[in-house]
Structure 1
Amino acid sequence: MSTKDSPQQEDKHIVASSDVENGLQDLGKSIDFASEANEAIFGAPEDVIDSIDDNNMENGRVFCVDDPPDGLGGNENSVEEKAEGSEASLVSMGGATQTDEEIDRAALEALTNIIKNEPQDYTEEEEAVMRDGKEFYTKCNASKKFKNLKSPDPRVKMKFIHLEGESQGTGIVEAVVDATVAECVAYEFIKDSRERQAKLGKKYKAIETKKLNGHSQLYLNRRSLGVRGLSDREWRSFICWQKEEGDKVCWTVYKDTDMLNKDFPMDSGTVLASAAFTWMFEALTTTGGVHQTRVTFASKVDIKGSVPSFVMNRLSTRQASNMIELRKKFDKSKEIDGFKLLQTVDIINNEIQDYTDEEEALINDGKKFYMDCKTSKKFKNLKSPDPRVKIKLIHLEGESQGIAICEAVVDASLAECVSYEFIKDSRERQAKLGKKYKAIETKKLNGHSQLYLNRRSLGVRGLSDREWRSFICWQKEEGDKVCWTVYKDTDMLNKDFPMNSRTVLASATTTWMFEALTTTGGVPQTRVTFASKVDIKGSVPSFVMNRLSTGYASNMLELRKKFHQSDDKIDRAALEYLANIIKNEPQDYTKEEEVAIRKGKKFYEKCKVEENFDDLKSPDERVKMKLVHVDGESVVSGVATTVVDASVEECAAYECSKLDNREDTKNAKERDGITFLKVIKVNPHTIYYVTTRELGLPGFSPRDGRSKVTWFKQDDGKVIIDVRDTEELHKDYSVKAGNILVKIHTVWVFEPLDPIGDVLQTSVTFTTKVDLGGVFYSSIMNKIAPRFLAQVSDLRKKFDRSKEIDAFKRQQIIEKLEEIAIEGAPGIESHFDEIDGAQEISSGLPGQTLIKAEKGMGWGKTSITVRTSHKEVAAFFWGLKSEAESQLVIHRVNNKTFVITVEHKRHLTAAKFCKVDQNKTEVVLVIRQESLGKAASKKSVIKHLGVATDAAYYFDNILKSTEAREQDGKRFGDQLMERVK
Structure 2
Amino acid sequence: MKLVEDVASRAKRIAGTVNDSVEKFLYRAEGEARVWVLAVAKLDIAPVNFFTELWLLDTYAKKAENKKLAVHKVIKDLDGTRGVQYTRSVSLPGGFKDRLFESWITFEERVEADGRRTYIIAWCPLEKYKGTHHRVDGAEMLQKATTRGVYIVRELTDNTCEWTWAQQVDMKIALPARALVMYATKSLARANKLQDMFRRNGKAVDRERVEALATIMQGRRGMPPMADQAGVFERCLELLREGGEPSEKGWKNLESPSQEVEMKMKYFPSKYGERSVGTGKAVGVVDCSAEEFAAWVMDFLSNTRVRISKEFNNPARIEMRKLRRENEGSFATVKKLPSFLDNREFVFRQIWRAEEGKATVVFESIDDKVDYGVTFRKKTQGHIKGFYAIEDLPLRGGAKQCRVTLVQKIDVGGSIPTWVADKKMTTYLGVVHEAFDYFRQDNRIDAADRGELSALIVERGNEQVYSEEENAMLQRVSQKFDGSLEEGKWTKLKSPDVFVRMESVFEKGSSAGVGRAVTVVDASLEDCAAWELMKMSREAMKDHHEWGGLDRKVVELTEHSSLYYVAYDLGVASLAAREWLCARVWKKVDENSMICCYEDAEDENFPPGAGKKYARASSNAFWKYERLHEVKGIPQTRVTYSLQADLKGLIPVFIANFKITSTLAALSTMRKKFEKSVEVDASNRAVIAQKIKEKGESGGAEALAKFEALYRERTGWQRPSRSFGKVDCKLLSELVSAKTWGSNSLQIRGGLHDIAAFIWDFGSRANMEISRDVERSFEKEVAWGLMFRVIVGAVLSVTDLASDLFVLKQFWNGGKEMLVFRNATFASLTMSMAFYLLYKLARRDFTYWLPVYGVTGVLLSGIIRIIIKLIVDFAAIVHFRHPYELGGLFWSINMFLPLLGLVAVIASDLPKGIFSEATLELFTSYIMVLGFSLLSFLSLFLLLMNKEYRHTFFSMETGAHLTRSAFTDGEDDFEKSYLIGCNEDQWKLFIGDEVEAWVKENWTTWEGEKPDWFTDQWISNVPREMIPKKMIDKEKSSTAKVTESRRTNRISKISKVAPEGLEEREEHLDEELLVMENQQTASFDV
TM-score with structure 1 setting the length: 0.57
Give me the whole-angstrom Cα distance separating, in 2, the residues matched to 1:373 and 1:737: 27
Shift of 1:755: 2.0
Unaligned runs of 5+ in 2: 112-117, 370-374, 721-727, 766-1005, 1016-1086
In the alignment, structure 1 residue 437 sits paired with structure 2 residue 318:
yes
Deviations 1:784-811 (A, max 9, x none): 2112111122222333334443444455
| Higher-helix-fraction structure | 2
Q: Is the 8 A contact 2:399 2:444 kept in 1?
A: no
In the alignment, structure 1 residue 538 sits paired with structure 2 residue 414:
yes
Give me the whole-angstrom Cα distance separating, in 2, the residues matched to 1:794 and 1:614: 23
Shift of 1:238: 3.9
Deviations 1:907-940 (A, max 9, x none): xxxxxxxxxxxxxxxxxxxxxxxxxxxxxxxxxx
1:342 counterpart letter in structure 2: T
Deviates more, 1:184-193 or 1:841-850: 841-850
For 1:366, the equivalent position in structure 2 comes to 240
Give me the whole-angstrom Cα distance separating, in 2, the residues matched to 1:697 and 1:744: 20
Q: Is the 8 A contact 1:391 1:404 kept in 2?
A: yes
1:306 to 156, 175, 179: 175
2:614 counterpart letter in structure 1: N
Shift of 1:470: 6.8
Identity of aligned residues (%): 18
Shift of 1:587: 8.4
Give me the whole-angstrom Cα distance separating, in 1, the residues matched to 2:693 and 2:47: 73
- Structure 1 residues 662 and 363: CA distance shift in structure 2, 3 A: same
In the alignment, structure 1 residue 794 sits paired with structure 2 residue 675:
no
| Higher-strand-fraction structure | 1
Shift of 1:766: 0.7
For 1:341, the equivalent position in structure 2 comes to 214
For 1:955, the equivalent position in structure 2 comes to none
- Structure 1 residues 256 and 323: CA distance shift in structure 2, 3 A: farther
Matches within 5 A, 1:787-866: 787-810=662-685
For 1:277, the equivalent position in structure 2 comes to 148
- Structure 1 residues 357 and 544: CA distance shift in structure 2, 3 A: closer
Shift of 1:394: 6.8
Matches within 5 A, 1:8-27: none
In the alignment, structure 1 residue 160 sits paired with structure 2 residue 27:
yes
Tell me the SS of whatever aligns to 2:288.
coil
Shift of 1:418: 4.7
Shift of 1:647: 1.9
For 1:148, the equivalent position in structure 2 comes to 11
Shift of 1:535: 1.4
Give me the whole-angstrom Cα distance separating, in 1, the residues matched to 2:35 and 2:513: 88
For 1:916, the equivalent position in structure 2 comes to none
1:522 counterpart letter in structure 2: G
In the alignment, structure 1 residue 765 sits paired with structure 2 residue 640:
yes
Give me the whole-angstrom Cα distance separating, in 1, the residues matched to 2:687 and 2:601: 51
Tell me the SS of whatever aligns to 2:529.
helix
Q: Is the 8 A contact 1:510 1:531 kept in 2?
A: yes
- Structure 1 residues 642 and 469: CA distance shift in structure 2, 3 A: closer
1:235 to 100, 103, 112: 100
2:58 counterpart letter in structure 1: D
For 1:624, the equivalent position in structure 2 comes to 501
Deviations 1:189-212 (A, max 9, x none): 43223453465599x897443557
Q: Is the 8 A contact 1:256 1:276 kept in 2?
A: no
- Structure 1 residues 289 and 706: CA distance shift in structure 2, 3 A: same
For 2:400, the equivalent position in structure 1 comes to 524
In the alignment, structure 1 residue 740 sits paired with structure 2 residue 615:
yes
Count of matched residue positions in the alignment of Structure 1 and Structure 2: 724
Tell me the SS of whatever aligns to 2:126.
strand
Q: Is the 8 A contact 2:265 2:278 kept in 1?
A: yes
Matches within 5 A, 1:663-812: 663-670=539-546, 672-678=547-553, 689-696=564-571, 699-707=574-582, 709-728=584-603, 730=605, 735-810=610-685
For 2:473, the equivalent position in structure 1 comes to 599
Q: Is the 8 A contact 1:839 1:850 kept in 2?
A: no
1:652 to 529, 536, 556: 529
Give me the whole-angstrom Cα distance separating, in 2, the residues matched to 1:175 and 1:648: 60
- Structure 1 residues 195 and 579: CA distance shift in structure 2, 3 A: farther
- Structure 1 residues 615 and 806: CA distance shift in structure 2, 3 A: same
Q: Is the 8 A contact 1:710 1:721 kept in 2?
A: yes
Give me the whole-angstrom Cα distance separating, in 2, the residues matched to 1:174 and 1:753: 68
Tell me the SS of whatever aligns to 2:414.
coil
Shift of 1:825: 8.4
- Structure 1 residues 349 and 582: CA distance shift in structure 2, 3 A: farther
Q: Is the 8 A contact 2:72 2:87 kept in 1?
A: yes
Give me the whole-angstrom Cα distance separating, in 2, the residues matched to 1:424 and 1:435: 13
Q: Is the 8 A contact 1:840 1:851 kept in 2?
A: no
Tell me the SS of whatever aligns to 1:196.
helix
1:315 to 170, 184, 201: 184
For 2:124, the equivalent position in structure 1 comes to 253
Q: Is the 8 A contact 1:209 1:218 kept in 2?
A: yes
Shift of 1:552: 1.9
Give me the whole-angstrom Cα distance separating, in 1, the residues matched to 2:175 and 2:166: 25
- Structure 1 residues 540 and 328: CA distance shift in structure 2, 3 A: farther
- Structure 1 residues 221 and 675: CA distance shift in structure 2, 3 A: farther
- Structure 1 residues 875 and 337: CA distance shift in structure 2, 3 A: closer
Give me the whole-angstrom Cα distance separating, in 2, the residues matched to 1:172 and 1:441: 17
- Structure 1 residues 436 and 590: CA distance shift in structure 2, 3 A: farther
- Structure 1 residues 762 and 306: CA distance shift in structure 2, 3 A: same
Shift of 1:149: 2.5
For 2:138, the equivalent position in structure 1 comes to 264
Shift of 1:309: 1.4
Tell me the SS of whatever aligns to 1:437.
strand
- Structure 1 residues 706 and 249: CA distance shift in structure 2, 3 A: same
Matches within 5 A, 1:302-701: 302=171, 304-307=173-176, 309=178, 312-313=181-182, 315-316=184-185, 319=188, 338-345=211-218, 363=237, 365-366=239-240, 376-377=251-252, 379=254, 400-406=276-282, 408-418=284-294, 420-421=296-297, 435-437=316-318, 439=320, 454-459=331-336, 466-467=345-346, 506-514=382-390, 519-539=395-415, 552-553=428-429, 555-556=431-432, 559-560=435-436, 563-565=439-441, 567-568=442-443, 570-572=445-447, 574-576=449-451, 578-583=453-458, 589=464, 591=466, 595-596=469-470, 599-600=473-474, 602-612=476-486, 613-619=489-495, 620-630=497-507, 635-657=512-534, 659-670=535-546, 672-678=547-553, 689-696=564-571, 699-701=574-576
Tell me the SS of whatever aligns to 2:621.
strand
Tell me the SS of whatever aligns to 1:782.
helix
- Structure 1 residues 315 and 393: CA distance shift in structure 2, 3 A: farther
Q: Is the 8 A contact 1:722 1:748 kept in 2?
A: yes
For 1:87, the equivalent position in structure 2 comes to none
Task: Kindly name which structure, 1 or 2, has the bigger radius of gyration based on alpha carbons.
Answer: 1
- Structure 1 residues 809 and 564: CA distance shift in structure 2, 3 A: closer
- Structure 1 residues 251 and 272: CA distance shift in structure 2, 3 A: same
Q: Is the 8 A contact 2:71 2:138 kept in 1?
A: no
Tell me the SS of whatever aligns to 1:665.
helix
Deviations 1:670-704 (A, max 9, x none): 4x332334556778766654432123457432112
- Structure 1 residues 556 and 319: CA distance shift in structure 2, 3 A: same
Deviates more, 1:629-638 or 1:751-760: 629-638
- Structure 1 residues 559 and 846: CA distance shift in structure 2, 3 A: closer
- Structure 1 residues 821 and 802: CA distance shift in structure 2, 3 A: same
Root-mean-square deviation over aligned CA pairs: 6.5
For 2:844, the equivalent position in structure 1 comes to none
Shift of 1:641: 1.3
Deviates more, 1:248-257 or 1:532-541: 248-257
2:542 counterpart letter in structure 1: K
- Structure 1 residues 330 and 190: CA distance shift in structure 2, 3 A: farther
Shift of 1:275: 1.0
